[in-house]
């Protein structure tokens, strides 16, 4: 915690914070940083992290490497799918987190394999749902909140949205039968849905990212699919969305289109610019002001409900013995996955 960060948190009073690998150097350090962030706002925070396993693993250097989703899925053991979520959840919770932005439920099509690698489990939507349902149940057993991403689907994306805007030429009927199946089937089990920075011109008629598109968030996700949880944008500082306009425009248009929460990561100036743009537009446009007030109320209500559902309370500082047990459990889980995958291959 620095004086600058403390001042920023006190001023904008965010719904939550998200830590990346650069913020995480040790178990007690991470726990203390999260606790200190919450002290500045004097209310419970969504304490978020991205931990899928494999290439997306923020706790690798603190507790150990977690198997990737594709590796766990290769075991064909639903008990291990659930244990994947539980082990990840227990590791996150021990360090003070309460939200894990996982699992990714994009479909593992050939087009996205160079970008998504081992983050995805299957091109079959039903098999993806099977893994995700168990993973989410495991997170809940560990008293952690999960998230489905990246709506409406990056399975056909050939570009990395961290740097460029993927344009996915796919008709809505096909998306409905494939990429949208996980959101349709799991709509009551996913606390958060994260929206992708990708364009779907055959659905929207333009190249506006889904994260800024009312068609996707309000008309399809809310009304047609019937999702009632919290909608969160992917990081609005990513190249895939900034290609469409500056951070100020991205923040305002994301909320206007249906997002409840905006992720603004990595640069303090972008956080302040997004915050000031939202306040300024709410003061200038009364309809947008009403929208912002409604969203703020919904987020606070949702936060109370979701944190109560996992019986959230700030855990005690993680002791060395606790971290050692988690490391051992994680190693044993990795061995289980490896051995079950070998057994599965031998029976095929």
- The verdict on residue 329 lying in a domain is no
Residue 225's SS3 state is: coil
CA distance linking residue 152 with residue 150, whole number of Å: 6
pTM score, whole prediction: 0.95
Task: Write down the pLDDT at residue 148.
Answer: 98
Angle CA(69)–CA(73)–CA(75) in degrees, nearest 5? 130
Over residues 172-179, the mean pLDDT reads 98
- The verdict on residue 236 lying in a domain is yes
Please say whether the beta carbons of 292 and 282 come within 8 A. Answer: yes
Residues 13-27: tens digit of each pLDDT = 999 999 999 999 999
Q: What is the domain-level CATH number for residue 30?
A: 3.20.20.300
Task: Write down the pLDDT at residue 332.
Answer: 97
In what helix (H) or strand (E) does residue 71 lie, and over which residues does it extend? Answer: helix 69-73
- The total of structural domains in the chain comes to 1
Using alpha carbons, select from 86, 51, 56 the residue that is nearest to residue 326: 86
CA distance linking residue 288 with residue 58, whole number of Å: 36
Q: Which residue of the set 110, 162, 206, 266 is catalytic?
A: 162
Task: Write down the pLDDT at residue 314.
Answer: 86
Please say whether the beta carbons of 270 and 237 come within 8 A. Answer: yes
Domain that holds residue 260: 3-313
Task: Write down the pLDDT at residue 242.
Answer: 84
Query: Average pLDDT over the chain, rounded to whole?
Result: 95
| 163 noted as active-site residue | no
Q: Which residue of the set 185, 234, 235, 260 is catalytic?
A: 234
Task: Write down the pLDDT at residue 315.
Answer: 87
Q: Residue 277: pLDDT above 90?
A: yes
Q: Residue 52: pLDDT above 80?
A: yes
Residues 181-228: tens digit of each pLDDT = 999 999 999 999 999 999 999 999 999 999 999 999 999 999 999 999
- The verdict on residue 342 lying in a domain is no
| 162 noted as active-site residue | yes
The phi-psi region of residue 320 (left if phi > 0; otherwise alpha if psi is between -120 and 50; otherwise beta) is: alpha
Task: Write down the pLDDT at residue 156.
Answer: 95
- The verdict on residue 323 lying in a domain is no
């Amino acid at each position: 915690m620095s004086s600058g960060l403390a001042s920023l948190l006190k001023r904008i009073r965010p719904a939550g914070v998200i830590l990346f690998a650069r913020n995480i150097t040790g178990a007690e350090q991470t726990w203390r940083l999260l606790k200190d962030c919450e002290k500045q706002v004097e209310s419970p925070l969504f304490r978020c992290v991205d931990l899928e396993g494999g290439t997306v693993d923020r706790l690798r250097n603190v507790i150990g490497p977690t198997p990737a989703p594709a590796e766990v899925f290769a075991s064909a053991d639903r008990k291990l799918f659930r244990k994947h979520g539980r082990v990840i959840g227990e590791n996150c919770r021990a360090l003070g987190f309460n939200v894990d932005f996982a699992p990714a439920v994009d479909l593992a099509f050939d087009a996205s394999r160079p970008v998504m690698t081992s983050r995805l489990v299957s091109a079959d939507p039903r098999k993806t749902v099977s893994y995700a349902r168990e993973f989410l149940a495991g997170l809940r057993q560990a008293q952690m909140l999960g998230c489905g991403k990246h709506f409406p689907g990056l399975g056909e994306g050939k570009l990395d949205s961290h740097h460029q805007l993927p344009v996915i030429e796919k008709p809505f009927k096909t998306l409905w039968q494939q990429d949208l199946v996980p959101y349709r089937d799991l709509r009551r089990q996913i606390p958060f849905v994260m929206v992708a920075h990708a364009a779907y011109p055959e659905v929207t008629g333009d190249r506006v990212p889904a994260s800024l598109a009312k068609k996707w968030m309000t008309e399809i996700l809310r009304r047609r699919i019937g999702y009632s949880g919290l909608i969160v944008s992917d990081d609005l500082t990513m190249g895939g969305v900034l290609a469409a306009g500056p951070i100020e425009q991205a923040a305002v248009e994301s909320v206007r289109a249906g997002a409840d929460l905006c992720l603004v990561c990595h640069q303090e100036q972008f956080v302040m610019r997004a915050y000031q743009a939202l306040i300024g537009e709410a003061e200038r446009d009364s309809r947008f002001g009403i929208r912002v007030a409604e969203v703020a109320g919904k987020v606070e209500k949702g936060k109370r409900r979701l944190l109560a559902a996992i019986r959230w309370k700030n855990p005690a500082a993680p002791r060395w013995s606790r971290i050692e047990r988690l490391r051992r459990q994680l190693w044993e889980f990795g061995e289980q996955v490896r051995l079950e995958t070998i057994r599965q291959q031998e029976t095929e």
